[in-house]
A and B are shown apart, each in its own frame.
Chain A
Amino acid sequence: MNDASLIRVENLYRYYGAICAVQDVSFEVSRGEVVGFLGPNGAGKSTTMLMISGNLAPSAGRVLINGVDILDDPRAAKADLGFLPEQPPLYRELTVDEYLAYCARLNRIPREQRRKAMDSAKQRCGLDEVGHRLIGNLSKGFQQRVGIAQAIIHSPAVVILDEPTVGLDPIQIREIRTLIRELAAEHSVILSTHILPEVQAICDRVQIIHKGQLILESSIEGIQQQLQGNSLLVGFKNPPSGDELAALNGVEQVETLPDGRIRLRYVPGHDPADTLVETAVAKRWGLKELTPEQMSLEQIFINITCSDESIPGSNAVSGGAPAEDAA
């Protein structure tokens, strides 16, 4: 175990009746890290987050927050924890100031520091203007910010955010993302989302959960590498036959697209671009386009989560299998 790891989750299981919602999930998050938790609806994201935050008791397994077991000593563990559930826990009849003051008291912030904690949380979440307004009258975006302010008011070591940018407009989303990046300076952040660009924009590490199991755990750089797809898009003035292209070294599959361009899939690591260019010149195919195709995170996500055999699939699954190594 790493001393710097603020969250440690060991073999977490959770059953709802006979349904296993989370199955053998283990991971660690170190200080200063932002971890993105990805998964389709019903994959077990929220259940996992509820368990890490102590809202739900695991059926088996352990959760350590800053080295403290959340079941053995919930009070100490929860003091280091800020949680924003999917639905922000707001009292609509209170004003933002009243609500945050209550949260500060609940989190045992000493009386003389409360004012400061509240001001700093409000300032960080852009709530300075709305302190005196009723939470029920705020827009969804502002309510979401109040929810985040509530989670960070006591400067917890660990911040858990369940879909923090849901329902926000693009500008607010950008602000919240900046805020999360700032938080990562002193806190560890876990956030769940199903918006993939968000993960690419703010996370250091990605975990994909599907049917209750962690099926991919990778740094963002690792993901970026995987995004380099293994196919080329080529266009010719005098298109050769498919057989000629298939004969090139490394080419696995040739596919003619409706617009006349051709997609060449190749064995990972055997980029046939050089050979292709040489051959095209020699045989006067009239090469006019050569584009390496980039996979989007969406595709990886879909590949992993939609294939029935899950990971150890073959290339027959559309889009290739860059994910299989990592999983």
Chain B
Amino acid sequence: MMILSIAGRELRSLFLSPLAWAILAVVVLILSYTFLVQIDFFMQIQPRLPAIKDAPGVTQIIVSPMLGNTAFILLLVIPLVTMRLVSDERRNQTLSLLFSAPVSMTEIILGKYLGVVVFLLIMLALITLMPFSLLIGGTLDFGMLASGLLGLVLLLASFAAVGLFMSTLTAQPTIAAVSSFGVLLLLWILDWAGKGRSSEAETLFGYLSILRHYESMLKGVFNSSDVIYYLLLIATFLILSIRRLDADRLQH
């Protein structure tokens, strides 16, 4: 109940700022461009496809790369959405409204997190309309699409959790944005460290990398270990955020 109120306020404030609209517009514009390029590519190779045995389908050629691009673009964009969550309230000294209300730190963090996740789902709904528009001319591999979308939802939710935590660390939204971008990018390219090493190192860094798990889901492979990875990541950063916010009362 309290979580919903806080989430509602968060969402409302997001849409009252021009930032959210600008982000939605830019993301949709860029993604529709990549979508069109992908369709164009499909049109070019389509005549040759029947000749190939086990040829990739529309979903594999158009939708999966597009979802891959979405993940990368949102890696750049989500820090901008999450940066203000706590840092802005701290800078404007509005946190004391929440601190002196009968609300726990957990409810504050979960409320803010839920607010931003709902915003991301709205964005995702806009993006998903593009692959669905392909239904006009044919059919899609829904299993693969669902697996890819689930992966994207989990990935965005993880991005948001990291961004929220970074926002609890500072009173400057820009610092929150830069540092969450840094952390996300590091998680993204973490598997580079394992390349050319022993197989254990490669497995370890591969598992830690946020991208690997998404790639396998994009291919339509649903593995519960991937889902658990994301859930663990989200829970970790949410708990860290709660702890950090609680520490606000203890010291300054």
Measured CB to CB, the residues of A under 8 A from B are 16, 50, 53-57, 74-76, 78-79, 81-83, 85, 87, 89-94, 98, 102-103, 105-108, 150
B249 A53 Cβ-Cβ under 8 A: no
B97 A79 Cβ-Cβ under 8 A: no
Q: Is B44's beta carbon under 8 Å from chain A?
A: no
Measured CB to CB, the residues of B under 8 A from A are 2, 5-6, 9, 12-13, 16-17, 92-104, 249-252
Q: Complex Cα distance A78/B12, Å? A: 25
With A57-B250, A94-B13 in contact, do A87 and B97 touch (Cβ < 8 Å)? Answer: no
Q: Complex Cα distance A324/B180, Å? A: 57
B249 A57 Cβ-Cβ under 8 A: yes
Residues of A within 8 A of B93 (CB): 85, 87, 89
B100 A81 Cβ-Cβ under 8 A: yes
Which 4 pairs of residues, A with B, have the shortest CB-CB distance? Answer: A89-B97, A83-B100, A89-B94, A106-B101
Distance of B5 from chain A, by nearest CB (Å): 4
Closest residue on chain A to residue B104 by CB atoms: A75
With A55-B99, A79-B102, A89-B95 in contact, do A106 and B17 touch (Cβ < 8 Å)? Answer: no
A54 B99 Cβ-Cβ under 8 A: yes
Selected A-B contacts with CB under 8 Å, 14 pairs: A55-B249, A78-B101, A83-B96, A87-B92, A87-B93, A89-B94, A94-B12, A94-B13, A105-B2, A106-B6, A106-B98, A107-B102, A108-B102, A150-B97
Distance of B206 from chain A, by nearest CB (Å): 43
Distance of A24 from chain B, by nearest CB (Å): 20
Say whether chain B's binding surface is mostly helix, strand, loop, or mixed.
helix
B97 A93 Cβ-Cβ under 8 A: no
Distance of B128 from chain A, by nearest CB (Å): 29
A85 B96 Cβ-Cβ under 8 A: yes
Residues of B within 8 A of A93 (CB): 13, 16-17
A102 B104 Cβ-Cβ under 8 A: no
Residues of B within 8 A of A85 (CB): 93, 96
Residues of B within 8 A of A103 (CB): 97, 101
B94 A91 Cβ-Cβ under 8 A: yes
Distance of A156 from chain B, by nearest CB (Å): 10
B94 A75 Cβ-Cβ under 8 A: no
Other than A87-B92, A106-B102, A108-B102, give 18 A-B pairs with Cβ distance below 8 A: A16-B251, A50-B96, A53-B99, A54-B99, A55-B100, A74-B104, A75-B102, A76-B102, A82-B100, A89-B92, A89-B94, A89-B97, A93-B16, A102-B5, A102-B9, A105-B5, A106-B5, A107-B102
Q: Complex Cα distance A57/B151, Å? A: 41
With A16-B252, A57-B250 in contact, do A106 and B13 touch (Cβ < 8 Å)? Answer: no
Residues of A within 8 A of B96 (CB): 50, 53, 55, 83, 85, 89
Q: Complex Cα distance A79/B104, Å? A: 12
Residues of A within 8 A of B103 (CB): 75, 78, 106
Distance of A90 from chain B, by nearest CB (Å): 7
Distance of B114 from chain A, by nearest CB (Å): 15
Closest residue on chain A to residue B251 by CB atoms: A16
With A54-B99, A76-B102, A83-B96 in contact, do A91 and B249 touch (Cβ < 8 Å)? Answer: no
Q: Complex Cα distance A89/B96, Å? A: 7
Q: Complex Cα distance A318/B101, Å? A: 46
Q: Complex Cα distance A83/B100, Å? A: 7
Q: Complex Cα distance A76/B101, Å? A: 10
Interface centre among B5, B97, B99 (most CB of A within 10 A): B97
Closest residue on chain A to residue B97 by CB atoms: A89
Q: Complex Cα distance A150/B103, Å? A: 15
Residues of A within 8 A of B101 (CB): 78, 103, 106-107
Q: Complex Cα distance A228/B9, Å? A: 54
With A89-B93, A89-B94 in contact, do A53 and B13 touch (Cβ < 8 Å)? Answer: no
Residues of A within 8 A of B16 (CB): 93-94
Q: Complex Cα distance A83/B101, Å? A: 9
With A16-B252, A93-B13 in contact, do A78 and B102 touch (Cβ < 8 Å)? Answer: yes
Question: When the two chains form the complex, which single residue of A50, A57, A81, A90 contacts B94, counting CB atoms closer than 8 Å?
Answer: A90
B250 A106 Cβ-Cβ under 8 A: no
Closest residue on chain A to residue B88 by CB atoms: A91
Distance of A206 from chain B, by nearest CB (Å): 24
Residues of B within 8 A of A79 (CB): 102
